Structure 1
């Protein structure tokens, strides 16, 4: 079997799809999805596919850098490897510093090819826990009424009742007003949590969270920078909800540092930056330490969303909380032949092997940027 699964080609395809409206948050702003579709072909003719979303304001990667590192470094390193040789592939990856989204997409494309060859869903290969996940929707910077209206639309059209609110503006009352408006509109019918993308100082975050103490928030993510070491530890100690480390804890060593140092007590796992192989290692690390995890979103399209779903549904620990699986709705179009549908606030796995999607080649031709 392994002789049939030798990687013999890797392709990185830059493409661009507009968002319906600008997505705004403390660490940046996005108007278009300038992503890279990564394809891996094996010797038996199977093609595995995944997506790499650049986030230059978070990880330093751009569409051009992802394309170049895959074409010039990472792709040539894995060609000739078996799709089963994940440890060898990641040993190759570790020879190159950084580039998390490029490495993650290549890892997941290999998993997709492996599952397709074996005739098994990747989610079942990973763990096989469940068939679906509850969905959380991210609300970006806007006025209180506009964010209430968007949340109401998401509940009415898709059954979503969990919302992640982007905060981190100055003055912080801009964001506390939004959170209060959402709670007053929905009452106890929805779950609300906040993500600051490092936008506040520790003292600002503490004051804002005290002002929202009566709103029943369930999580607080990256309210202040991890580099504010003592300030962040001081903040985490006084919060009444778990503090989620996201971009500050993207690798296993960083996760250990943040958790044992008292700078976080929950972790966001994003397959867009750690793929399936490293995400599984991170999940084991968190499970062993007894901390909660959340399946995060890299403003993914439908390809990236299905990768997050495949991993999140595979394990009990990643299925307990709603996963951030809805931001493909912010895109004006997408690449799948069969678009995703959120029904009653949940996304279901598909029955096809691999990750379970097929790419619309006409749409890819239309949106790709290298021709």
Structure 2
């Protein structure tokens, strides 16, 4: 007999970052996660996570609004429902709740974890099976200080933890940013890949100037140079330069992916389970990209271990991630709330193979970091 959903808890958790993380729209010193715990009528528990960047500075959902949405709107629709048919539960939520993709992603992740534990299968097995057991992971250099970023990158290379780096730019005048990036590229050499993320900070005129200079400096690609729904500028820029563009904030789901590809965009899409309301939606977007000749990238919202491993299970089922992944979120935080953190080594990360997500909450750490 199928079990039912017995309880749903959403918990705010605040963990300091190892250093200030500077983006074009904000600087982070603490990451706030919404941890979701769903228990079935047999006492099994599934874990999920919803995490955004810098409160409301990045998008329309904040940690506080995510918790409120889950507590007041999503949970009442799910309690006492059969726990093993995720598609039916997704239809139920979408019929009653518009958008709120991050909150829905946390719920879907917890249900996948729960279903995996119920069946003795990993989440990647539930999603069709892992093709990869180890995925490459880049590191983001975001101190804003050129010398510090060079030192940080060199230490990562020496430790065999990362050999691909992304720089957050866009908060300074464009040529100051280019000078900063070019100096790091020159110091690290041609064997190291350097990419930049503008986080929508440029208009098309500025992006044209910046991308020309970045292309000349040997930078490998530019992420989201222009505003979210300015598809036309992304298409024109992708056709004007040989330096590739990675679309991130512009692409939430398969519909966005189809529309941008149909408009003539050439480049890559950043897959994020949070933007697509869960791993299942992110993989639907991946299918649209694959059919359109668009490259794939495993993106992050700077989630902790729970959200990161959920993404990794999804990415592991994809044959090719053309520009790798950035699943470094747990490494940006000073501590973790799981018993066994992910294994980062050999310039990448291992995919857990135990049932569900393959992680377990450290109750003492959760109690210490949960918002009082």
- Identify the TM-score tier after normalising by the shorter chain: over 0.9
- In the TM superposition, residue 264 of structure 1 has moved relative to its aligned partner by 5.5
Which residue does 2:30 correspond to in 1? 32
Distance 1:63 1:358 in 2: 22
On the 8 A contact 1:144/1:177 being kept in 2, the answer is no
Contact 1:4 1:43 in 2 (8 A): no
Report how far residue 141 of structure 1 moved: 4.7
Using the TM superposition, give the Cα deviation of residue 242 of structure 1 relative to its aligned residue in structure 2, in angstroms.
2.6
Q: Tell me if structure 2 keeps the 8 A contact 1:5–1:114.
A: no
For structure 2, which runs of at least 5 residues remain unmatched after alignment? none
The answer on 1:149 being equivalent to 2:151 is: yes
Residue 258 of structure 1, CA deviation: 1.9
Query: Structure 1: how far apart are the matches of 2:342 and 2:38?
Result: 23
User: What is aligned with 2:347?
Assistant: 345
Matching of residues 283-298 of structure 1 within 5 Å: 283-298=286-301
Residue number in structure 2 paired with 1:114 = 115
Partner of 1:303: 306
In 2: Cα distance, 1:41 partner to 1:7 partner: 6
Q: CA deviation at 1:98?
A: 2.2
What TM-score do the two structures reach when normalised by structure 1?
A: 0.93
Corresponding residue SS for 1:173: helix
Q: Partner of 1:193 in structure 2?
A: 195
Counting only pairs closer than 5 Å after superposition, residues 1-371 of structure 1 correspond to structure 2 as: 3-55=1-53, 56-94=56-94, 95-126=96-127, 127-263=129-265, 265-274=267-276, 275-318=278-321, 320-369=322-371, 371=372
CA distance in 1, matches of 2:284, 2:232: 28
Partner Cα distance (2:242, 2:75) in 1: 46
Cα distance between partner residues in 2 of 1:221 and 1:21: 22
Please report the TM-score for the alignment, with normalisation by the length of structure 2.
0.93
d(CA) in 2 for partners of 1:72 and 1:368? 20
Cα contact 2:140–2:165 (8 A) shared by 1: yes
TM-aligned CA deviation for residue 263 of structure 1? 4.8
Shift in alpha-carbon separation, 1:256–1:351, aligned structure 2, 3 A: closer
Report the CA distance between 1:236 and its aligned residue: 2.1
Indicate if the aligned counterparts of 2:52 and 2:302 stay in contact, CA closer than 8 A.
no
* Count of residues paired in the alignment: 367
CA contact (8 A) 2:268 2:296 kept: yes
Q: Tell me if structure 2 keeps the 8 A contact 1:167–1:175.
A: yes
Helix, strand or coil at the partner of 2:200: coil
- Greater Cα offset, 253-262 or 17-26: 253-262
List per-residue Cα deviations over 1:29-79 (Å, max 9, x = no partner).
222112110011112221010111134222211222111111111112122
Taking the aligned partners of 1:65 and 1:158, their CA distance within structure 2 comes to: 39
- How much does 1:228 deviate? 3.9
Residue 230 of structure 1 and its aligned partner are, at CA, apart by: 4.0
Q: What value does the CA root-mean-square deviation take over the aligned residues?
A: 1.8
CA contact (8 A) 2:215 2:243 kept: no
